[in-house]
Structure 1
């Protein structure tokens, strides 16, 4: 009961703090956390309103709640131009920031500050919000992300504990509350390390999972024997810098109790700042696992190429890149997922001798799983006919799933019986469904939503080819995704965008076909080659299985053990 009371108190104080900073922002954030059925119900109520002054506002907000981002941008822009009443205007302003819609010049100062921050103008945002609770928060975050800023604390001399490695992982989030590529890799790494004889435990960031709306969790979640410790205060500090110090304070007793020989953390920089402070305090080595390029992932979230280019030229992009570089150079060792990111870190000045590539891998048991796609589809209630192509992924814009849907439409116009399954959820799901509808192929595109990790294997097996149609952005050129490795282990050929990170696992080992990114015709041609040539599809699938056999989690666990023993010595 005490733990539950603490989580409720944390949730209340977090919401209260947001309300004090800006009630309109709290309303927007709450709508993002609400169950999908609830947001759709609210959207329906907005649509049922009569005409009048706020018709554009209702239309824009309803589209936003449904995930129809293009319609939402148009509606919100029209509503703001109509100068709605103040409370409506505040909410519309916050939604406009989320959608990258330009604000009117007379928008509230805090809203303009948030828009400036979103656009990457860090100093401008801090200046605009000066003297407000938001201003204090932004100024604190600016200081925290600036290279050279460290959390104050004593530094102890390094020690070399005897015995097998003991690793404490400091993570952003985890199973069972969040299912994503990040949490799945974290979990597989922890399981692999445990199997390799490493004693492991993990702790998630301050306030998680309460900060994502889960107020009934436990202080420790145990998943497949892996303990995930929660760092849950009665209330969170009000500024980002103070929360980082609070994070260190709450993790400190865990470090003392578990007595690790190494601390291990992952992107982003805030995790690394906390881990570095704990390592200095306890005389421990620390490993930074750079799983992506944070600043480029942020830039890729903008809706147009022009906006992405502006983001990459912004102050925020430069600060994030410099901060990530500083921390990678400060770590005792760096782990990356692929050669593209490794080469980038070397150009930033990270010693190549302190970088180890531990790629995304597969459970060894998948390599021995031989199930035909028609049999797998029967288990899912899908048609055994046609050639099925699809993906299991987070549905965000840079994954390029709309290009895949367009390629399927091209093939069906050619007379080919090609069908599609897109498994997962995210901000782009609604637009993917609408695109399939507009192309007249909604009956041939299955969107089952997010599924549990053990169910995802069945969907991989149901496909005749696995697609990775990523758009050409800085982040997709660098970051190697996890899901195609599972498809390879199951003997499914891959068709992917011709980007460096994907060529590394598809083109070079010959596990599938590459097509020009953002080109539905080129993607359709590649899929058609596989559909028309079963022998080719089969040989690529077997090449994929052979390649995946070189990248198992058992091998990754052994690599981590060697790495930990080296840094401890």
Structure 2
């Protein structure tokens, strides 16, 4: 089928996205663009910018070190640049300090950024100063402060409007659409409303969505999916078509020429555009996922058309947001309102699906009736349910020595995964384990820093960081390992949210070594399918790895038990029966 590509709308959307990012957060835009580059190109770009020492007043140099993953040198460069500027009270220097504060914020240092802004005399505070102050307030979770600072300079009018829209939605705004009394749904049809999807995103979220759609379709339901307005153009795919078909699953794109200004307008726009697709597809059930803004749009459409909707809680996104900001974020306005809106979404839905026992209990504690909650854990399908590749074949395919002892992961590389702990544990074991190798497949914001850490610990020569791998290749990276490691940090989000990749590792027959956290206790039977170790304890992780690497027979026994555990109920075909039951009860 020839796919229609709305080039004019996509060009307008791309221009709007870039324009808004330049106003909202130009430093973060530069970092996000760099993260979409291949690993080698990203390192080359970062190191190239880091060599620019006589232009940009240290801003470009600092960003370069950040892109390359060298936070230590980024901080030192930032210090040097600030020390020069504090002695220079020209207006240009004041603007430069504001830009440097923006860089400090991008490095996760809001206090430092605040101090830098405070050093600028009031008379020299221009539009860029107030824009950065607004971003600092939002980073801290202070919606009121973000709106107030953005509103204090006329050049920041667009930024102020977007900050105000975000404040409104987090404060409890609920969109409404006119009732459509003549609507007649098609029995057995389900429309999923997603944040992102294959083929443009290969995250665990997209993989889970596709697996659900395929498994439900195989049971006889007519299914399709609609992604959020602007996706995937907003994430760097300006050539996107109006629809993609992946393994017979339709993914419909909402690509208007212009997106609404601010979160409130975009929620309203999402509801209107979704209503148009509902009129075409005529689903009997709508099914959406975290976070709550999806549920706001879907709930408005469901009420207007008189059809039920399912809300699938796949994460604790308020906790994910707070995990990058320190304990004070847990007391912020944004965190409190984020949690409240997620519970509102779950209570408004006709049924809630979630991933595990811990997440279910949090919903019950928040007031969602237990009878309205079903658990569909992360699971596997083909090829993981087939006989897995042999380790020798996998290593030959990936160029890994057949007699090596390989530990690692296949994952999104973000800070809360704690993969720096794994790098340190390998460095601790390497001197007495000459065959030890570390293999970390995946990409994310923390990847450059892991590579720098490996260099500094002197183990770069035994580390492999192949970057993002395509979905069909993931199973080979699993199969090449001796041990799959999940060293997640002890945070609220990691204590409750279960990952997907460890289930895939278990399906391939690999023991899983994981932090001893409640969510991971749902995925690893300690001393049967793997080992649990004290979270954030390098010595405990090194001991767990060492004990299993020294005992091949024990590893093989654990791997076999892990594969049986997956086959016993962690498959998408098993989950599909739960989804079918939910849909049937809602449309009875």
TM-score w.r.t. length of structure 1: 0.93
Question: Conserved in 1, the CA contact under 8 Å of 2:47 and 2:65?
Answer: no
**Residues 498 and 514, structure 1, Cα contact 8 Å, conserved in 2:** yes
Secondary structure of the equivalent of 2:311? Answer: strand
Structure 2 equivalent of residue 305 of structure 1:
none
What is residue 479 of structure 2 aligned with on the other side?
A: 461
Conserved 8 A contact 1:122-1:315: yes
Partners of 1:52 and 1:22 lie apart in 2 by 20
Greater Cα offset, 103-112 or 364-373: 364-373
Return the offset for 1:159.
Answer: 8.6
Structure 1 residue 45, shift from structure 2 partner: 3.9
1:9: which partner in 2? 12
Does structure 2 retain, via aligned residues, the 8 Å contact 1:376–1:462? yes
Q: Distance in 2 between matches of 1:45 and 1:162?
A: 57
Which of residues 209, 234, 258 is equivalent to 1:186?
209
Where does residue 360 of structure 1 map in the other structure? Answer: 378
| Gap runs ≥5 in structure 1 | 303-307
**Structure 2 unaligned runs (5+)?**
86-91
What's the counterpart of residue 240 of structure 1? Answer: 263
Classify the secondary structure of the residue corresponding to 1:169: strand
The question of whether the paired residues in 2 share the 8 Å contact of 1:171 and 1:203 is answered with yes
C-alpha distance 196-464 of structure 1, shift in aligned 2 (>3 A): same
Distance in 1 between residues matched to 2:368 and 2:391, nearest whole Å: 45
User: Contact 1:468–1:495 at 8 Å: present in 2 too?
Assistant: yes
How many residue pairs are counted as aligned between the two chains? Answer: 561
Q: Which residue of 1 aligns with 2:108?
A: 100
Cross-structure match for 1:489: 507
Q: Write the mapping of 1:54-73 to structure 2, written as runs, cut at 5 A.
A: 54=57, 56-73=58-75
Which stretch of the first structure deviates more once superposed, 465-474 or 374-383?
Answer: 374-383
The answer to whether the 8 Å contact 2:27/2:106 transfers is: no
Pairing 1:419–2:437 present: yes
Question: 1:389, CA displacement in angstroms?
Answer: 1.0
1:261-410 aligned at under 5 Å gives the runs 261-302=284-325, 308-363=326-381, 365-410=383-428
Deviates most, 357-366 or 20-29: 20-29
The residue matched to 1:367 in structure 2 has which SS?
coil
Provide the residue aligned with 2:218 in structure 1. Answer: 195
In structure 2, what is the equivalent of residue 251 of structure 1? 274
How far apart are residue 193 of structure 1 and its match? 1.1
Report what 1:168 is aligned to.
191
Match of 1:450 in 2: 468
TM-score (norm 2): 0.90
Q: CA deviation at 1:77?
A: 4.3
- Distance in structure 1 (CA, Å) of the matches to 2:465 and 2:39: 15
Q: Is 2:481 aligned against 1:470?
A: no
How far 1:91 sits from its partner (Å)? 3.6
Q: Are 2:190 and 1:154 equivalent residues in the alignment?
A: no
Q: CA deviation at 1:507?
A: 2.7
Shift of 1:536: 1.4
Counterpart mapping for 1:531-550 below 5 A? 531-549=549-567, 550=569
User: Do the aligned partners of residues 354 and 156 (structure 1) sit closer, same or farther apart at CA in structure 2, a change above 3 Å counting?
Assistant: farther
For the 8 Å contact 2:24–2:135, the answer to whether it is kept is: no
Residue 289 of structure 1 aligns to a residue whose secondary structure is: strand
Q: What secondary structure sits across from 1:85 in the alignment?
A: helix
Question: In structure 2, how many angstroms separate the alpha carbons of the residues matched to 1:21 and 1:376?
Answer: 45
**Displacement of 1:42 after TM fit?**
4.4
Query: For 1:107-122, what aligned pairs fall within 5 Å after superposition?
Result: 108-122=129-143
Q: Secondary structure at the match of 1:447?
A: strand
CA distance in 2, matches of 1:153, 1:524: 57
Query: How far apart are 1:538 and its partner, in Å?
Result: 1.3
Which of residues 163, 167, 188 is equivalent to 1:142? 167
